[in-house]
């Protein structure tokens, strides 16, 4: 069982992603924006972070960069889960240190596969 931090400002998205994470047998932690996500990552040191991009206070790109550049959290894989579907967004997200990038809406199967890949340390499908 992994501890997975879900960072999203939409309560319905948090609930939906949490349902998938818990159905896979993992523990779900949540944060409502990028700044809270960075703090939760430092405090909880989860095994994986699922990060939205469009959020108040600190967007997901900024939060991912902060997490992947901090010595205490840089080992934690971050998967960007976002509505931003342009190739330039994906490239930028990966440059910030994200391990994978999936776009909303996603299927339960798609998110499950990306989570399983990240936790098992296989190369994620969307990073190819």
Domains of the chain, earliest start first: 3-120 (3.40.50.2300)
Would you place residue 121 in the very low, low, confident or very high pLDDT band (cuts 50, 70, 90)?
Answer: low
Q: Is the pLDDT of residue 114 over 90?
A: yes
Let me know: does 93 contact 61? Beta carbons within 8 Å.
Answer: yes
pTM of the model: 0.92
Q: What is the pLDDT of residues 43-80, one digit of tens each?
A: 999 999 999 999 998 999 999 999 999 999 999 999 99
120 — pLDDT class (breaks 50, 70, 90): confident
Q: Does the structure show a pLDDT above 50 at 118?
A: yes
Residue partners of 80: CB distance under 8 A and separation at least 6: 51, 52, 53, 60, 61, 64, 93, 98, 100, 101, 102
Percent above pLDDT 70 for the chain: 94
Per-residue pLDDT at 109 exceeds 90 = yes
DSSP for 23-45, written as a single string: HTT-EEEEESSHHHHHHHHHHH-
Tell me: the pLDDT tens digits for 16-36? 999 999 999 999 999 999 999
The one-character DSSP state at 102 is E
Phi, psi of 57 (to 5 degrees): 70, -65
């Amino acid at each position: 069982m992994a501890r997975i931090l879900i960072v999203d400002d939409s309560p319905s998205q948090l609930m939906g992603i949490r349902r998938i994470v818990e159905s896979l047998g993992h523990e779900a932690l949540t944060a409502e924006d990028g700044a809270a996500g960075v703090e939760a990552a430092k405090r909880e040191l989860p095994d994986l972070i699922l990060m939205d991009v469009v959020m108040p206070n600190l967007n997901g790109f900024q939060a991912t960069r902060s997490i992947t550049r901090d010595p205490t959290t840089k080992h934690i894989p971050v998967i960007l889960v976002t509505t931003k579907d342009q190739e330039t967004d994906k490239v930028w997200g990966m440059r910030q240190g994200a391990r994978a990038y999936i776009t909303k809406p996603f299927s339960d199967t798609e998110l499950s596969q990306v989570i399983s890949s990240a936790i098992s340390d296989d190369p994620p499908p969307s990073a190819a």
